Amino acid sequence: MGSVTQASLLLHKQLRDLMKNPVDGFSAGLVDDSNIFEWSVTIIGPPDTLYDGGYFNAVMSFPSNYPNSPPTVRFTSDVWHPNVYPDGRVCISILHAPGDDPNGYELASERWTPVHTVESIVLSIISMLSSPNDESPANVEAAKEWRERRDDFKKKVSRCVRRSQEML
């Protein structure tokens, strides 16, 4: 029970900090006020990227042993990107369990550590939107298109941006 209390206290503090000092590029709040472990996040497409002008919604789900284990982040908006699974789950190193990568793609230092906060996670996702990593893609089709047919990739992203604006 202690770790759940510790996790919820930490998440309440991070939420209060973000409310007091909002960070450019995203907004965050709870999906449901009675559950501190489910956050709703809106990421504004970073300027001067293909995602510029988009409003992408995601849900962050925190485990009861946060910050010892990472949350999962899943876009609920359509996002065409090499590092976003077709079901919307975000695939970036810092969201992977701590320790050595069983597949040998990532250094332990690139993976989850308890010093990460909601803010550092979302800023990493914004950075991911700006510069896709097509070396170990979550969406192989998007990565292939990013490498081989950049114009088609740009068109799909433009559609996602337009759709996100229509949802406002």
Catalytic residues: 91
Calpha distance 31→85 (Å, rounded):
22
- Residue partners of 81: CB distance under 8 A and separation at least 6: 128, 129, 132, 139, 142, 157
Distance of CA 136 to the CA centre of its chain: 16
Q: How far apart are CA 122 and CA 108, in angstroms?
A: 20
Beta strands in 37-168 (DSSP E): 38-44, 55-61, 72-75
Distances (CA, A) of 71 to 62, 116, 143, 148, 149: 4, 10, 24, 33, 33
